[in-house]
Amino acid sequence: MVSSAPIFVIGSYRSATSATTWAIGQHPNIFPLEETNFISRMSVDLAIQHKMGSARGSRTFLSSARISRRDYYRHFGCALDKLILDSRQALVAQAKEESTRSGSTSQNVKLEVSAEAPKNRWIDGTPENSHVVLALRLMYPNAKFIFILRDPREVARSLAHFESIGGGTYSEQESYNLWIHLVRSCALAERAFGSSVVLRVRYEDIKENPADVVRRCLEFVGEPFCEACLNPFRERINASAIPANAGLQGGVGTPKYLTEAVALYESIASGDFERTHTPFKAYRTLAEAFVCYRKTFEFAEIRALSRKNRYLSTKLRQANARIEARLGSLVRRVRRVFRRSGAGHR
């Protein structure tokens, strides 16, 4: 089984994950997928499925066939890789149709650089992939991860104005907690798997010297430098409209979540996080975090099933009541008929 080598851009929302994905995706051998959303969930579901399929030992298929979790993940990873690469032309055609309808064209951001470009690899910029690096490594042992680190105060400020471009609404606390969970997972993955698997990029470096960042990223994933990869950085991609007077938060009396986020950021940036987390400790913590993350989906599914069962139970009671009412009406009508029939015979 040939293992593919996709690229995942991870990190918090509002950290240039989209711009970086599009930039690397301008390479003739890399196809850009801005945000897939389903791959992170798929990696979680595979863990749940394998657990179910091997729960009863030799009485279950996966155990009796001796299909390990690693092999199970890898088979689905290969199938998904083929599905994505086989869908390239359909995605390009769809993008061209949408561009024609909207009248918006960009020479800096393209799905297809040229018809001759092989595009044998793909890059995904979904931030939620930060939670599932462990599972994605099982699906794709040769995958590379680009971790973008941005100051949480700048991220929170951007998320506060995310609505300006049609994004969601985030409170200050939600913004910081989101940053903490995503970035901590990235930092643990970087420490657990090392610099040959996870490359950390400072957001400030993207702003100040995008050419150097592109060179580093392409060298990291094993591809030659391509000038076209600089084009997406020539325009604003998915950027919030932040007022000029919106400052960074901090200082005396700041809330706990802000203090925690800033401390984590400074710990990662200074190297303290690396010094306090051995690769083994980071891997173990990452594995524990993945189990907790997986359970949130299991509980969500149980709650969804519970809601569905309550809904179906209510519908069944209502249907039963209607049937009983109709049967009662029918019985009364039959009785009346019999009474009239008896009266007629007398």
Question: CA–CA separation, 28 vs 31, rounded Å?
Answer: 8
Mean pLDDT for each 10-residue chunk of the chain (346 residues)?
83 94 95 90 90 83 91 96 93 84 72 77 96 96 97 93 74 94 97 97 96 97 95 73 52 80 97 96 95 76 58 76 84 80 59
pLDDT at 27: 95
Give the rounded distance of the alpha carbon of 182 from its chain centre.
11
Are the CB atoms for 13 and 183 separated by under 8 Å? no
* DSSP-derived 3-state class of residue 9: strand
Pick from 17, 1, 282, 269: which is nearest to 129 by CA?
A: 17
Q: How would you class 178 by CB atoms within 10 Å of its CB: exposed for 0-12, middle for 13-18, buried for 19 or more?
A: buried
Please tell me the pTM assigned to this model: 0.80
How do residues 215-260 score in pLDDT, each as one tens digit? 999 999 999 999 999 999 987 665 555 555 555 555 545 799 999 9
Q: What is the DSSP letter of 30?
A: E
pLDDT at 327: 84
Question: CA–CA separation, 3 vs 78, rounded Å?
Answer: 7
User: What is the enclosing helix (H) or strand (E) of 11?
Assistant: strand 7-11
Backbone angles phi, psi at 67, to 5 degrees: -95, 110
pLDDT at 239: 56
Domain spans of the chain, in order of start: 7-238+248-277
Architecture of domain 7-238+248-277: 3-Layer(aba) Sandwich (3.40)
Which residues face 17 on adjacent strands?
none
pLDDT at 87: 92
Q: Two tokens at 312?
A: 């179906």
* DSSP-derived 3-state class of residue 10: strand
* DSSP-derived 3-state class of residue 132: helix
